[in-house]
Amino acid sequence: MEKELDGLGYLPLRIILSKLSPSDIIKVSCANKRLRGSASDDSLWAQICYQELQLSTPQDDHGNPLPCFMLAYQLWREAFSMYPWPLVKRVKRCWDKLKKWFNNNFLEAEATLRRGASESDIEQLQTLLKVKLPLPTRLLYRFHDGQELPDKMNPKTASSSWLGIIGGYSFYQNSVNVYLLPLHQVIAKTRYVIRYLGFSSRSKCIIVASSFASSRKLFFLNCTNGQLFVGTRKPLTDNEMIPCVPNTLIRSVHDLYGEEQQDAMLLWLEEHGRRLENGIIKVRKEGDDRSINLFPEVPPLCVTTVTNGVQVRASAVFVPEFSDVLDEAEKFMFAYSIRMSLLPEGCVINGMTFGSCQLNRRHWIIRADEEVVSSVDDEAVIGKFPLLHPGEGEFVYQSCSPLPSPSGSVEGHFTFVPGRLADPRGGPFKVQVARFPLEMPDYVF
């Protein structure tokens, strides 16, 4: 075999080597000087680094530049030698997808990602909290040790409270924006809830993500089974938490030699990246602040209707932190977002065009499963009578509704008048809002 390879020209040998695994290339390089030279060709290792790690320039796992791709691959393998290599590649793909989206859409949030944690940092957390992190979560923290958190005591950094990479929502006076916690905050917050809020240390749960807006929202990773949970309205002492990922997908969370190790943290972040990449959720600006908004933006979770030139978009999110699964009437809380605008052609009624129209009333039918549980017919929306003009930005408002079941819907209409309420240019007309779902999702964010 050695003589056959040694007798090949450069191009055929290069093609054969490119078909081999990195470990086989290393073995071939030990045969003789010529094969060692061919196996050291950096273009070959550039191809390997791109295929396995999506590296377009030679660098180590902290992003430091290196002189060649062969050294880069060697250092990556050494840095993660204690982990299954397929899992290392998968976790890197997860972070790469998220960071690519942040780089294109939300640079401010990308800037909050911390340098990866060391093995000693992870060991310290495990010792202090008496837990063993699932392998995928360990690797996620090796790439990025969570986010730099906002300083609530500093008014100059108030806007950074909206840079959580998981995102959030707002309705009435409640605001949520979820950050991925760095390890030192995982330790501090977990100790706090154990010491002061009566949470049991025997649960082997640690807090890995938290909201830094006005409403509290905590995510707990169970280090034994790898499931991620979110707290509800109940006190933590009741241990009433909701799983964030389907249990059937979690497997081999502590098995170094298992196949396709995946815990809830990895699945959760992968799903989050998919929703961002596919435009299901987007960055929305409110005032001077931008944030990832969890209200869906595309069908079927978001519906769009146009009546007489008035466009209404509507969607909802499950709100676990205000849900109480033991309360028969308010087991499941949902917030919904209504976005209304007047299209550039203006308000058109019976062939006549008007340069504005103003909302007067709203009518909602809210269902749990298929049973009507609430019917609303009242003036205004959140105390406002929005006046719409062609081509202006959307008027956005949020509200909420509890349901006794995890599945329901909202539909209805708004009553507008052409012109203004103080100076109507015609009779009132109805603007339909198509039925949109209130559904407890498989993945809870």
Output the tens digit of pLDDT for each of the chain's 445 residues.
445 555 555 566 666 667 777 877 767 666 566 666 667 788 888 999 999 999 999 999 999 999 999 999 999 999 999 999 999 999 999 999 999 999 999 999 999 999 999 999 999 999 999 999 999 999 999 999 999 998 764 545 555 679 999 999 999 989 999 999 999 999 999 999 998 887 887 889 999 999 988 788 999 999 999 999 999 998 776 668 999 999 999 999 998 887 789 999 999 999 999 999 999 999 999 888 999 999 999 999 999 999 999 999 999 999 999 999 888 778 999 999 999 999 999 999 999 999 999 999 999 999 999 999 999 999 999 999 999 999 899 999 999 999 999 999 999 999 999 999 999 999 999 999 999 999 999 999 9
Per-residue pLDDT tens over the stretch 164-207: 999 999 999 899 999 999 999 999 999 999 988 878 878 899 99
Both 382 and 399 in a single domain? yes
Angle at 216 between CA 215 and CA 217, to 5 degrees: 115
- Total structural domains within the chain: 3
- Same domain, residue pair 356 and 412: yes
User: Quick one: 238 and 299 in the same domain?
Assistant: no
Domain with 185 in it: what CATH number?
Answer: 3.40.1580.10
Q: What are the angstrom distances between the C-alpha of 332 and each of 213, 305, 313, 404, 407?
A: 21, 27, 23, 6, 9
Q: Let me know whether 407 and 307 are in one domain.
A: yes
Question: What's the length of the chain?
Answer: 445
Last residue of a domain, one of 78, 109, 137: 78
**74, 67, 29, 69: which is closest to 49 by C-alpha?**
69
348 vs 21: CA distance, rounded Å = 66
Whether the model pTM is above 0.85: yes
> Domain end: 27, 61, 78, which one?
78
- Both 271 and 312 in one domain: the answer is no
Same domain, 240 and 345: no
- H/E element holding 374? strand 371-379
Instruction: Write out the DSSP string of 263-280.
Output: -HHHHHHHHHHHHHHTTS
In angstroms, the first-to-last Cα distance of the chain is: 55
Do residues 299 and 396 both lie within one domain?
Answer: yes
Torsion angles phi and psi, residue 96, rounded to 5 = -60, -40
Contact 428, 362 (CB under 8 A): no
What pLDDT sits at residue 213? 81
Q: Are 185 and 146 in contact (CB under 8 A)?
A: yes
Q: For residues 179-209, b (16+ Cβ closer than 10 Å) or e, as one string?
A: bbbbbebbbebbbebbeeeebeeebbbbbbb
Among the listed residues 109, 157, 408, 407, the one whose alpha carbon sits nearest the alpha carbon of residue 281: 109
Cβ-based neighbour number of residue 214 at 10 Å: 12
Do 336 and 260 share a structural domain?
Answer: no
Cβ contacts of 296 within 8 Å, gap of 6 or more: 280, 281, 302, 315, 317
In this predicted structure, what is the pLDDT of residue 158? 52
Q: Are residues 194 and 329 in the same domain?
A: no
Question: Is residue 287 domain-resident?
Answer: no
Whether 283 is covered by a domain: the verdict is no
Residue 107 has a pLDDT of: 96
Residue 290, in any domain of the structure: no
Tokens of 18: 């490119």
Task: Give me 199's structure tokens.
Answer: 């949470």
Give the up-direction half-sphere exposure of residue 136: CA atoms within 13 A in the CB hemisphere.
31
Q: Tell me the residue range of the domain where 37 lies.
A: 3-78
3-state secondary structure of 26: helix
Q: Which residue has the tokens 């290792």?
A: 45
In a domain, 253, yes or no: yes
User: Is the residue at 440 inside a domain?
Assistant: no
What integer pLDDT is reported at residue 234 of this predicted model?
Answer: 85
Distance of CA 406 to the CA centre of its chain: 21
A 10 A CB-CB count for 311 gives 16
Instruction: Report phi then psi at 321, rounded to 5.
Output: -70, -10
Residues 135 and 110 in one domain: yes
Is 194 part of any domain?
yes
| Structure confidence at residue 153 (pLDDT) | 47
Q: Determine, yes or no, domain membership for 289.
A: no
Residue 288 falls inside a structural domain:
no
Indicate whether 110 and 35 sit together in one domain: no
| In the chain, % of residues over pLDDT 70 | 91
Q: Are residues 60 and 90 both part of a single domain?
A: no
DSSP state of 201: G
Q: What amino acid is encoded at 108 in this protein?
A: E
Q: Which residue, 214, 249, 276, sits at the end of a domain?
A: 276
H-helix or E-strand spanning residue 300: none
In sequence order, the 6+-apart residues with CB closer than 8 A to the CB of 128 are 187, 191
Residue identified by tokens 């079927």 is 300
Contacts of 216 by beta carbon, 8 Å cutoff, 6+ apart: 210, 231, 321
- pLDDT value for 37: 60
Q: What's the CATH number where 340 sits?
A: 2.60.40.1470
CATH code of residue 72: 1.20.1280
Contact 169, 293 (CB under 8 A): yes
What pLDDT, on a 0 to 100 scale, did the predictor assign at position 165?
Answer: 98
Please say whether the beta carbons of 432 and 307 come within 8 A.
yes
- Count of CB atoms within 10 A of residue 9's CB? 7
